[in-house]
Amino acid sequence: MSEKLIKFTLPSFEQNELPTEAPSKARILVAEDDPVSRTLISSRLQKWGYNVVVTHDGAEAMAVLRGRDAPSVAILDWSMPGMDGLEICRRLREVEKRIYIILLTAHGSKEDMIEGLRAGADDYLVKPFHAEELQARILVGLRVMTLQGTLADRVHALEVAALNIGSSKLRIPL
């Protein structure tokens, strides 16, 4: 068994310690090239009630994230064949795609964390990690995405209102 497989652990929990339902059956992408880690993460997310989209490498993850119905949260491994997690972060931020990105990595130095966040990750989780920490970070990501969506809707409503006010001014006799 490789060292990478041994380091990833999920502690056991009592039934009442974690929520059993994911908020609104959110879709989450898991991009992990290691089959054992990928299975552990995706099965835990499914157990929590999330709809999980599983990819095996960076190119496959990028194809899913470019789609119209892309998940709002992505859990990306830093080191993957084809395209690494950092490159996915950079490309998504270049096109201003609204996806909350959690970068998973064995790279635990402050410099690596800074590099990951500067590349466009919203959060950074070092392996090994505890399942409850992953769930807490996912919940933060879902809250942020909900707030961003609400803000975008309100900005759009204000823009429409401003246009209506502007056209109303033209119809008022002076």
What pLDDT is attached to residue 9?
A: 44
What pLDDT is attached to residue 172?
A: 58
Q: What 3-state DSSP class applies to 131?
A: helix
CA-to-CA distance for 18 and 21, rounded, in angstroms? 9
Q: Which CATH architecture has domain 3-8+22-171?
A: 3-Layer(aba) Sandwich (3.40)
What pLDDT is attached to residue 107?
A: 84
Using the 8-state DSSP alphabet, how is residue 23 labeled? G
What pLDDT is attached to residue 1?
A: 41
**Cβ atoms of residues 33 and 44 within 8 Å:** no
Does pTM surpass 0.85? Answer: no
Half-sphere CA count of 110, side-chain side, radius 13 A = 0
What pLDDT is attached to residue 145?
A: 92
Domain ranges of the chain: 3-8+22-171
Per-residue pLDDT of the chain (174 residues; tens, 9 = 90+): 444 433 444 444 444 444 444 555 899 999 999 999 999 999 999 999 999 999 999 999 999 999 989 999 999 999 998 899 999 999 999 998 899 999 998 888 899 999 999 999 999 999 889 999 999 999 999 999 999 889 988 988 888 888 888 766 656 565
